[in-house]
Structure formats: C-alpha cells, structure tokens
Chain A
Amino acid sequence: MRTPDLIALLAEDTAPVPRRAIAPRLIGVALLGAFVSGLLLLAWLGLRPMRPAMHSPAFWMKAAYTLLIATAGLLSTARLARPGGQLGGALGLAALAAAWLAVLATLETLRTPMPGMAHLWLGWSWYVCPFRILALAAPVFVAVLWWLRGMAPTRLALAGAAAGLFAGGIGATVYGLYCEETAAAFVVVWYSIGMAACAALGAAIGARLLRW
C-alpha cells in the first residue's frame, strides 16, 4: 500500500475526538482497582478495629504517608502517559513524604530505650508486610496498566514504575486498614520497601507490556 492510500484510509476514520482530562479517568480506574483490593483485604485479612484507629495518630500517619506516595505515583503516571511526557517534579512529593517519616522515625528512635529498639524497627510483621502490600497493589496495578496501554507512553519502564508506585501507594493504604503497627520507623522501612518493590516490578512489566 502506498503512503497516500494509507493517509486516505486514515482520513476515513476521522471521528471527532472528545477533549478529555486524563487525571479524572486515571483516578476512576484506580478507584476500581482499590475497590477490588479492598474486597481482597476483607476476604483475606479482615479489618483492624476501626473505632480506635480513628483516634490513633499512628493510623493517620500511615494513611497520610501512603496516600502521598500514591499521589506522587498518580501525577507521574499521568505525565508519562503521553508521548514525550517527562517526570518533572512529581516524585518530589514522594521524597518529601519519605523525609517527613524519616524525621519521625529518628525522633522515635531517640526516645526509645535500647531493649525496645528491635521491636520499633521490626514490629510484629516486618517479614510479611512488603509481600502483603505487593499483593494488595496487584488489582490496582492491573487496572492502571490497562489504562496506560490505551495511552501512548514513550518511556516505558519509567511509566511502568510510576504505575507501580501509584498502585503500591493505594495497596499500602488499603493494607493500613488491617495492619496495627504504629511506629514511623516500621512504616518508613517496611511500607517503603513494599511500595518500592511495586515500582520495580512495574518498571520490569511496563518495559514489556506497554509497547505500542
């Protein structure tokens, strides 16, 4: 087929394209994934007692941290979804959130007597925490990746990592509805490892599955 013939054929397919903002659609897709991972949590681990959680600063500290990471992932994903999209400063938010938690963890460490140190940093559940976050992030990641495949990212591994970070942030937030660890030291290490693993896996998967 000659190129002018192709152009004529493509011109036959010129339907009006509605102007659409991409962030609201992406959030909608992610909420769908979050709903599924919420169901997964209920079926698998259940909820922590929620009434005391409402009055627990630790609960809100964790939720704020993971939601900030999710927001950084969301902004990065939205930027990288279009041809030529650059990361820009979207990850600065994640760095800021991690720095905030690192400060809290340092203060905790200074306050804690030596015998309590191992528990402060390892909690009860350090060995399962990252894996559970990974599992709860999976539905969100599938949804975001599916959305991203309909877009046109040109930096595939980076876009996959951003999608992974977004999903990891949501997955960790959902996990916070079960997890009763209270130390910032625990969260800054094990939650972060879980979310970083989501981003790393996202990069590997994105480089393969996002081609177009």
Chain B
Amino acid sequence: MADTETELKALMLRGLGGDAAAHARLLSALAGRLRAYFARRLGSATADAEDLVQETLLAIHLKRDTYDTRQPFTPWAYAVARYKLLDHFRRLGVRYTVPIEDAGELVATENTEEGAVRRDLDRLLGELPERQRALLQDVKLTGHSIEEAAQRQGFTPGAAKVAIHRSLQKLAQKVRL
C-alpha cells in the first residue's frame, strides 16, 4: 500500500505540474480501484458503479487544486470517492451510512474490467452549447490536438482550453441531476 501511495502521489504531483500523460495514468490507476470500491459498497446495485467511477474521476480532475501536496494523496482521493458515494445515496433518497475506513480500502483492490454505464456522458455532452460540444467531440473522437480542434472550431488555443474546462464543469453538474 505504501508503494501505491508513493506511485499515485508522484503521478498526481506531475499532473499538477501540467504533465498530461502522468495525469492520464493516475486517472486510469484510480479508475480500477474506484470500480472495486464502489462495487463492494453498492452490493447488488453494481449497475451504478461505473457511473460513479466516471463521476468521481470528473470530480477528482476538477477539484485537484484542493489537494494539499504536503499531505498523502490516497486519503484525499478516498475522501472524494466516499463523498460521491454518499451523494449518490442522498440523491436516491436512501438513508445510508458509509463507514469511514482507512483510506487503504480504496487502494486495496483493483478491477480493470469496465462495467456498463447507465448514464451516457455522450448524451449529456450533447446538451452543451453547439460550439463547445463540437470542440469536445473533435478532441475526444477524432484525436485532434487542442490546437487543431480549436482552429477547426474557430477558437484561439487559449479560449479552447478554457472552453474545454468549462464544458467539463458543466458536465460534472449534469452528471448529478
């Protein structure tokens, strides 16, 4: 577990420094662990697990500036995951307590087998304003770099980066409705 913490924290720090490859590796490593964690906590309602994985990854990404780099990383990620699980129950109207465990529970097991999603993020993306949606589609589907995609959609590269960030924020809100 200590090794996992060291590894994840190193990736997180590089991601915070702007290293996109490290950030992607961090999110992938977290995805497997979040999947196992949510499946264990949700029991039979596992169809929601992949949705929660995606929602939590979005939250971890958008809130990464609230991570205090002097602290260990795993407890921070675990707190986000636990909050998203509680928020999920709250939205369902279920009274449910999630025990506060050692953050080690999050990194204990991993499941790389992706589950089915109930809520399709692509459909939610479709609800964004047309130019933002087109920009995201370009970056995501066609694998264009932001610079290329920005040019195609008539954004300056700086404006495109801001637009992508805003779109992800809107997506994170829609995910919770």
Residue ranges of A at the interface with B (Cβ–Cβ < 8 Å): 1-17, 19-20, 81-85, 151-152, 154, 211-212
Contacts and interface: CB of A to CB of B under 8 A. Distances in A.
A1 B78 contact: no
Interface stretch (B2-10, B13-21, B37-45): B13-21
Nearest to B21: A11
B24 A11 contact: yes
Contacts of A15: 18, 161, 165
A14 B26 CA distance: 12
B161 A3 contact: no
Contacts of B76: 82-84
B149 to A, nearest CB: 9
Nearest to A5: B140
Contact of B120 (A1, A20, A85): A1
Contacts of A11: 20-21, 23-24, 27
A191 to B, nearest CB: 33
Contacts of A10: 23-24, 27, 57-58, 61, 168
Contacts of A14: 15, 18-20, 23-24
Contacts of A211: 87, 176
A39 to B, nearest CB: 31
26 contacts: A1-B140, A2-B117, A3-B31, A3-B54, A4-B114, A6-B121, A8-B24, A10-B23, A11-B20, A11-B23, A11-B27, A12-B140, A12-B164, A13-B161, A14-B15, A14-B23, A15-B161, A15-B165, A17-B64, A83-B66, A83-B76, A83-B80, A84-B75, A154-B80, A154-B83, A211-B87
Contacts of B140: 1, 5, 8-9, 12
Contacts of B36: none
Contact of A84 (B17, B79, B168): B79
A12 to B, nearest CB: 5
Contact of B78 (A6, A84, A212): A84
B68 interface: yes
Contacts of B146: 12
B59 interface: yes
Contacts of A4: 28, 114
Given A1-B117, A16-B16, A6 B57 contact: yes
B65 interface: yes
Closest 5 CB pairs of A and B: A84-B79, A16-B18, A83-B79, A11-B24, A1-B121
Contact of B63 (A6, A8, A20, A152): A152
Contact of B139 (A2, A9, A212): A9
B82 interface: yes
Contacts of A212: 59, 63, 172
A20 B68 CA distance: 9
Interface string B137-155: 0011000001000000000
Contacts of B107: none
Contacts of B24: 7-8, 10-11, 14
Given A11-B24, A15-B161, 14 more contacts: A3-B117, A7-B28, A7-B31, A11-B21, A13-B61, A13-B161, A14-B15, A17-B16, A19-B69, A81-B66, A83-B83, A152-B83, A154-B82, A154-B83
B90 to A, nearest CB: 8
Contact of B65 (A5, A12, A20, A154): A20
Contact of A13 (B19, B54, B168): B168
